[in-house]
Amino acid sequence: MRVVVQRVSEASVKIDGDVSGAIGAGLLVLLGIEDADTQADVDWLVGKLVKMRIFSDDEGKMNRSLQDIGGGLLVVSQFTLHASTKKGNRPSFIKAARPDHAIPLYESFIATAQKELETEVQSGEFGAEMAVSLVNDGPVTITIDSQAKE
């Protein structure tokens, strides 16, 4: 699994003009799933995200986690995170998992995160055309790949 994590003061996702999910302060997570991903990747990545200390404490240091601040989490599926640009000018998405493998992991990611957080996890809709809006706070943007475990 590959994610782009953005610390936000607010974020939302719309499908056909209707808001599917919205949060205030918290994390917007763009989630890409590949064929090699399993439930172990879900568990590792959710554990990392909810405990990652990227929110400011009273002294302005990044020392608080999403759990610590009771922040929101907005999860948006994004298969394009697995684009390969190695050959030519048209990206290849061959590493991105097909829906039969990706949808259960996407849903498990949301459910697993929900168990860890006090606030309701918001989300887009897998495979839908979505319009994502955000106000990046910081800005803070981090990429994580569960296959690399960095």
Question: Is 79 assigned a catalytic role?
Answer: yes
The Cβ of residue 144 has, within 10 Å, a number of other Cβ atoms equal to: 18
Q: Which of 78, 109, 112, 126 is catalytic?
A: 78
Q: Write out the DSSP string of 81-134.
A: GG-B-SSSSS-B-TTBPPHHHHHHHHHHHHHHHHHH-SSPPEE--TT---EEEE
Question: Is 78 assigned a catalytic role?
Answer: yes
Q: Which of 55, 79, 109, 126 is catalytic?
A: 79
Q: Which of 80, 141, 143, 147 is catalytic?
A: 80
Question: Is 114 assigned a catalytic role?
Answer: no
Cα–Cα separations (whole angstroms), residue 39 to 2, 46, 62, 102: 14, 11, 29, 11
Residues recognised as catalytic: 78-80
